[in-house]
Amino acid sequence: MHSLAEENYLKTLFSLSNDKAEVNVNDLSKRLGIKMPTVTSMMKKLATKKLVHYESYKPLRLTEKGKKEAALIIRKHRLTEMYLVEKMGFGWEQVHEIAEQIEHIQSSEFFAKMDELLGYPKLDPHGSPIPDKNGKMVWSAYSKLSECKKGDTVKITAVINTSEEFLKFLNSREIHIGLKLKIKSIEPFDNSMVVTYDKRNAETLSQIVCERLLVEK
């Protein structure tokens, strides 16, 4: 159907579009580690395939078709991550790189089987929603931990930015999806938070960490 390169452009453009109102060639270039002229020509190619609306010097926009294709690739990525964690025993910090490759496997039966064996999961191991077979994806209305107040008790529901180092940091603090924690205090100087959970009495989390944790109250 689509080449590996095309799939990675589509998926990345889709993800960036969920974070920012406007996505430029430069943004996509930086995220993919591919130079701008290359990105421009790929956008023109995807435009001929009716996956992207492309106009010179304008922000990049996926077509409805492009959004659906992208969401289906993300579906394969997240199903894979879930499978690797739940059925194969990998840690949540190990699965992204493998899923980055397996998401390009062309076999609907393979992903349908994963889905079935997992019991049709709605979320991946990092708390992100798994798009359905039609490419529909719904994010629950979570807050960032950094936006919570002193005294709040919240439950961790998802992690933004799933880099291996960040996830290893969370492992070292025994922080995981579903964990309930209470905000003891917020340092006004740097917005770091002191929180308690389980047997941990007073863990300090920097603002950078708190901005990457999504919670529910």
Binding site for Mn ion (CB under 5 A): 8, 96, 100
Q: Coil, strand, or helix at residue 133?
A: coil
Residues in region 59-88 near its own copies by CB under 8 A: 84, 87-88
Among 10, 43, 145, 177, binds DNA (CB under 7 A): 43
- Give the dihedral of Cα atoms 107, 110, 116, 120; nearest 10 deg: -60
Nearer to Mn ion, 83 or 181 (CB): 83
Per-position b or e across 46-61, b if 16+ CB within 10 A of its CB: bbeeebbebeeeeebe
Stretch that binds its own copies, among 30-38, 50-58, 109-117, 196-204 (CB under 8 A): 109-117
The correct pick among 5, 34, 47, 98 for binding its own copies (CB under 8 A) is 98
- State the DSSP code for 145: G
Q: How far is the CB of 61 from its own copies (least distance, A)?
A: 31
Tell me which residues in 12-41 interact with DNA (CB under 7 A). Answer: 24-27, 29, 33-41
